[in-house]
Amino acid sequence: MTGYDATYAAWRAAPEDYWRAAARGIDWDRAPERIFDPAAGVYGRWFPDARLNTCHNAVDRHVAAGRGGQPAIIHDSPVTGRVETLTYARLLERVSKLAGALAALGVGQGDRVVIYLPMVLEAPVAMLACARLGAVHSVVFGGFAAAELAARIADARPKVVISASCGLEPKGSEVRVIAYKPLLDAAIALSPHKPLGCLILQRPELACDLTPGRDQDLLAAEAAAAAHACVPVAATDPLYILYTSGTTGKPKGIVRDNGGHAVALHNSMAMLYGVGPGDVMFTASDVGWVVGHSYIVYAPLLVGATTVVYEGKPVGTPDAGAFWRVCAEHKVKAFFTAPTAIRAIKREDAEGRLFATYDLSRLEALFLAGERCDPPTAEWAAAMLGKPVIDHWWQTETGWAITGNFRGMGLFPARFGSGGKPSPGYEVAALDEAGQPLPAGQTGTLAIRLPLPPGCLATLWHADDRCREAYLEAFPGWYNTSDAGVVDAEGYVSVMSRTDDIINVAGHRLSTGAMEEVLAAHPDVAECAVVGVKDSLKGQVPLGLVVVKAGITKTEADLARELVALVRDRIGPVAAFRDARIVSRLPKTRSGKILRATLRKIADGEAYVVPPTIDDPTILEEMQGTLAALVK
Ligand code: COA
Ligand code: AMP
């Protein structure tokens, strides 16, 4: 591969040639003749005449090429003490039979399957089994509560739900067993749409009762099923829906297609991560997030690499050397995690004593994403590892990195605090409010010139208009990332913050709007706002500011306890909502709109302009006092 500048210039000069060449990395049932159709879909569609099967590309073709004996997935679970490896040949067997079991339940091409699983081997197996049938999976993160699962079941309308008896969450030195079945039952009861059946993985740590007429034991159903072949689908057919936080309580169903996704992810592996057939990649995320979809499951398998599925935490399972143990034991070449995890490790092992006990000679680079990485964290990791630390910026919507640094093209010098330069396929600019690109070095809304490259969202599930409105209308001709940032004179992009009501808590994307909806439902709350407050470990944590109804005498501590419990119950523990304060009033415009953007700036300790439309400017000082005391 040539250097970054030459490759980026070649893409810009002839984007279709670039993607035609990248498409050669994929096995097609019908190879693409047409690369891009600008008239189709919301902003055009990639590979409109091609056909393929993603599971064939991720599994079958590697077995056919003689890699059947190579490990495909290593499941390393410090919370159970078990490590299990699936070779490509065994993965093929399991996926084909689980696909057979799903087919026996009536799942066919285009049908949806919701997957609500912890980090078990069956999570990638289930995703691939859906892909094999041309069915559309929608994985829901285990830290979400029943109501969130219900909202996703209601929107995706799955024929089948795949779940487990339990998840295992470390808490201090204990491992908590989290029963999934009651959450699943509650979600199905809440959802107006009911699945025809559920496949439940019974884990040794906790068995659950199966609901007669609805549930089957997943392993038994898989064992009894006939292997199912791959079903070729159109490149433009959906592979999966992944719900992500929007600005309201209703999550956005990001739709990923089969063809563009396979091409872009396959292409990214050598280019960005320097990972190819037989190499080992460890992405410490969760299959419930986009990072997990792309770099735990699909991309490593599309290139015939080995992927590590890790069921544990960066610290506490058993200590802050856990990630380094995994890297050493499984000979990991590329390691990918969130800055929060590195901060957690640094907090417990700042001197790198645990780190020093492992042989990391096979590790070549650390990749960070999911939230802004503060330069001290990246510097600490780089100094300790003595290897490249690559911050790269992306979103659930894009599915792969918008910017980064590219091992396959020879790295350019890293600048901590920046997410690197645009990947070939993306033209990035900071825009002013009128949608005009700003001069280098000026902060604006980061936007990507249309069309988005292959692998990015095709649309929102059954909501083309919401997709246009959310991403394309603000700046005609551009995709609005809703991230604020800067592009400097050398092309480095730095992402500073979101421009909307989304916060990033421990690398998890959450909607403050959704939390506000929950607080507002409490009978004592007259009005409320939720803002992200800086946190030295998790980056941001949510804080509720509530105005209580007249006559309420409950103490702040009691009300806060109830509100925390309510958010945990409705959204889930992952929201990490732990603090609510009673305030006498909230800053508003004269027309009564809460000034959330100003509150956010105050919470972040940033300079703010007193909005000309504010009803009473004196309240901002009061807010500053409340929030400043809380920033950790
Ligand atoms: N199922 C059930 N509950 C879950 C869960 C899951 N899959 N994931 C998290 N939770 C729960 C936690 O147990 C915790 O519950 P608690 O309130 O009862 O303690 C709560 O959700 C908050 O979890 P988390 O934000 O992970 O905080 P933590 O204090 O347990 O752990 C870190 C702190 C730093 C170790 C952890 O946040 C971490 O590993 N962060 C990295 C995240 C990451 O990899 N993100 C990838 C995105 S690319
Ligand atoms: P998610 O959709 O969960 O991947 O979250 C996407 C959001 O996380 C982005 O819009 C950014 O706000 C933030 N983000 C992800 N990666 C980075 C990064 N490398 N630097 C700064 N912010 C990031």
Tell me: the pLDDT tens digits for 451-476?
999 999 999 999 999 999 999 999 99
- Average pLDDT value for residue range 107-130: 98
pLDDT of residue 523: 96
Q: Is the pLDDT of residue 631 over 70?
A: no
Asked if residues 203 and 192 have their Cβ atoms less than 8 Å apart, the reply is no
Mutate which of 293, 483, 492, 538 for ligand 2? The one with the most ligand atoms within 8 Å of its CB, which is 483
Q: Is the pLDDT of residue 445 over 90?
A: yes
Q: How does pLDDT run across 204-222, given as a tens digit for each residue?
A: 999 999 999 999 999 999 9
The atom of ligand 2 lying closest to the CA of 290 is 4
Q: How does pLDDT run across 552-588, given as a tens digit for each residue?
A: 999 999 999 999 999 999 999 999 999 999 999 999 9
Going by C-alpha positions, the residue among 399, 182, 439 that lies closest to residue 297 is 399
Measure 398 CA to ligand 2 centroid, in angstroms: 10
500 lines ligand 2 (CB under 6 A): no
**Cα–Cα distance between 437 and 194 in angstroms, integer?**
48
Confidence of residue 250 (pLDDT cuts 50, 70, 90): confident
Q: Is the pLDDT of residue 632 over 70?
A: no
CA 264 from centroid of its chain's CA atoms: 17
Asked if residues 282 and 276 have their Cβ atoms less than 8 Å apart, the reply is no
370 lines ligand 2 (CB under 6 A): yes
Q: How does pLDDT run across 369-388, given as a tens digit for each residue?
A: 999 999 999 999 999 999 99
pTM: 0.96
372 lines ligand 2 (CB under 6 A): yes
pLDDT of residue 1: 53
The domains of the chain, with CATH numbers, are: 3-312+392-485 (3.40.50.12780), 506-630 (3.30.300.30)
Confidence of residue 446 (pLDDT cuts 50, 70, 90): very high
Give the three-class secondary structure for 224: helix
**Cα–Cα distance between 309 and 296 in angstroms, integer?**
7
293 lines ligand 2 (CB under 6 A): no
337 lines ligand 2 (CB under 6 A): no
- Average pLDDT value for residue range 70-99: 98
Residue having the nearest C-alpha atom to atom 9 of ligand 2 = 395
Asked if residues 499 and 509 have their Cβ atoms less than 8 Å apart, the reply is no
Number of Cβ atoms within 10 Å of the Cβ of 558: 11
- Average pLDDT value for residue range 599-603: 82
**Cα–Cα distance between 378 and 398 in angstroms, integer?**
23
